[in-house]
Amino acid sequence: MLNGFLKKFLGKSDSKDVAKKRLKFALIYDKLEVSDETLENLHRDIVEVISRYFEIDHDAFKLDIHRSDDLSALVVNTPILSAKHR
């Protein structure tokens, strides 16, 4: 009890609060993870959609997920060779 009082007095946090905070971050990170297979499928689908409207350089097509502390971004970069006129 005295120990607990000291902990409170000194402003130390409970270990379970640390656990909860770590868990929340771990779960957020886990959910941002994308498998290689998913990325390959996405790559294929995006190329297919863009190719309906543009001639693109398939080899130069790039798809990445950029992560920073508080957000994740899907970055697609492709050179366009020409527009398709329909």
Residue 77 C-beta: closest distance to other proteins, Å: 31
User: Minimal CA–CA distance to 82: which of 59, 57, 49, 55?
Assistant: 55
Beta carbons of 84 and 54 less than 8 angstroms apart: yes
Residue closer to other proteins by CB (options 3, 68) is 3
The contacts of residue 81 (CB under 8 Å, 6+ apart) are 54, 55, 56, 57
State the residues that interact with other proteins by CB under 8 A: 1, 4-5, 7-8, 14-17, 19-20, 22-24, 26-27, 30
Residue 28 C-beta: closest distance to other proteins, Å: 11
DSSP-derived 3-state class of residue 73: strand
Structure tokens at 54: 């543009």
Residue closer to other proteins by CB (options 3, 77) is 3
Residue 70 C-beta: closest distance to other proteins, Å: 19
Residue closer to other proteins by CB (options 11, 77) is 11
